[in-house]
Structure 1
Amino acid sequence: MGRLVPAVTRALDILELFLEADGPQSAPDVVRKLQLPRTTVHELLTTLAARSYLVPVPDQPGRYRLGVRAYQLGSRYAEQLDLAAEGQRVAREVAATCDETVHVAILEDTDVIYIAKVDSTHAVRMVSAAGRRLPAHCTAVGKMLLAALPEAELAARIEGRELDALTPGSITDPDALRTELAAIRERGTATEHRESNPDVSCVAAPVRDSSGRVVAALSVSVPMIRWTDSSETELAELATKGANDLSVGLGYRPRTR
């Protein structure tokens, strides 16, 4: 484990003062409460204010309150916390219906991160796990999320990068990936056949937030020994229903004619 950085620790100590404080804090307040050198406190306050974690209070010289950046971090945490909790709840419901493994994942750069997973009662080896990161182009959830990106954003993420393979079935050609993503946009679901795991296929559907933006994907994963054309259709419907239920839990309201 690496060592703690004293300057970062002190800056976080200052921010955490505002969790318990009743109002704005001044440099002398921070010096007294944290027993830090006055010069150090002034430098840290100036830095935090420059990054919008703190802002000076109008008409109260030398006093600070929390800034918009602190609010943005808190809001992002709340969004992810709600998504993970709701995702786990819906994943349990979907898994109870089909007794297959269900995942919920989000996109980060060119990878997916699994934020919820419910295992099948059947014995099957999975490369996924809650918190694990996998290349997006090798997974059904990842392809679903890539397909939802605006063209400029997609290009920025995949152009000029190597597409690594997890199995012999993984897509490694950018043009082939674009063709696959176009098909996904057309049908509204994504599939993966032995692309992240040589023994498993998956089908995924998009999860939307209250604004309608795709923020996650939900998938159902099935061993190849139980995968058929008819089961793919049934599981696509099940994944879509689960994704829609999760979207509603996040505040999404589908438009009606």
Structure 2
Amino acid sequence: MGRAVPAASRALDILELFLDDPVLSAAEVVSKLALPRTTVHELLGTLTDRSYLVVVPGQPLRYQLGVRLFQLGSVFAQQLDLAREAQRVAAEVAAECGETVHVAVREGTDVIYIARVESTHPVRMVSAVGRRLPAHCTGVGKMLLSALSEQALNALYPKQTTLPKMTHASISSLSRLKTQLAEIRARGLSYDEAESSEDVHCVAAGVRDHTGEMVAGLSISVPITRWDEDRRRVLGELVTDGAARLSASLGYRAAATR
């Protein structure tokens, strides 16, 4: 790796300040980065000349992001492929836990699996990319449903009080589903406890894109013989981390903690 160029690093430091503050003054940049005032003014001038920053109309010495960054971001967004990124992260998570990992998207009341990496154990679940299942019976599906508003959920299940079951443990009532979705929103994890397959449990977390929208779910599936409270906790941490990594690769940035 080549030697970092100080001036370039400082210019990038300035741009990254705007991730948290949409408008900054020159004085604020000086304060936040502890750089000489002259250096900051020179860098701000260069970034403005190249359209990476623009002066706020009517507010001299206050800056906001310019169109050049939008153009670069648009090119980057065009290169992203959810299925490709999902397969890559799923492979990483599977290597960490040795269990089957899926990524799925929602289409109506169903989920469709777009990525899968099989367990390394002799006993594993059988699944396939492209498989479609009822969302309310799966961990990833319930996670994706939890991102919907009450109005959107009612539109998906209009006046429907009975839901189709895949196993004896599947949720069959809309009221129970709504109760469970509220719990999922609160804890940030969704569980499928033998609801789509009698012999399989899974834990899932949501994946968000650059707009903050939940666009997919990532899950780890485990035969019931390898599922206990300790495994539930460990896999919950792994799936949360994996979903965060996939979200980051899609451009999502969690709100900064103040």
Instruction: Give the TM interval when normalised to the shorter protein.
Output: 0.5 to 0.7
Deviations 1:201-230 (A, max 9, x none): 000000000010000000000111110111
Alpha-carbon separation, structure 1, partners of 2:220 and 2:128? 14
Q: Deviations over 1:187-213 (max 9, x none)?
A: 011001000010000000000000100
Q: 1:95-149: per-residue Cα shift (whole Å, max 9, x none)?
A: 0000000000000000000000000022345353100100000000000000011
Normalising by structure 2, report the TM-score: 0.67
Partner of 1:223: 223
Distance 1:114 1:121 in 2: 19
Match of 1:149 in 2: 148
Structure 1, unmatched stretches of 5+, are 1-74
Go from structure 1 to structure 2 and tell me whether the alpha carbon gap of 1:81 and 1:135 turns closer, same or farther (over 3 Å shift): farther
Q: Distance in 1 between matches of 2:198 and 2:147?
A: 26
Q: Any residues of structure 2 matched to 1:37-186 within 5 Å, and which?
A: 82-124=81-123, 126=125, 128-161=127-160, 162-186=162-186
Report the AA paired with residue 218 of structure 2.
Answer: L
> 2-side partners of 1:137 and 1:79: how far apart?
32
3-state SS of paired residue (1:95): helix
Q: Distance in 2 between matches of 1:199 and 1:188?
A: 24
2:140 touches 2:218 (CA, 8 Å); kept in 1?
yes
- Percent of aligned pairs sharing the same letter: 59
> Take 1:148 and 1:155, find their aligned partners in 2: how far apart are those partners?
13
Cα distance in 2 for partners of 1:144, 1:80 equals 26
CA 1:81–1:112 in structure 2 vs 1: closer, same or farther (change >3 Å)?
farther
Aligned positions, number: 181
Residue 209 (structure 2) aligns with: 209
The 8 Å contact of residues 126 and 197 in structure 1, kept in 2 or not, is answered as no
TM-score, normalised to structure 1, is 0.67
Q: Structure 1 residues 135, 229: CA separation in 2 closer, same or farther (over 3 Å shift)?
A: same
Q: Structure 2, unaligned stretches of length 5 or more?
A: 1-73
Distance 1:197 1:96, change over 3 A: same
Superposition CA RMSD, Å:
1.8
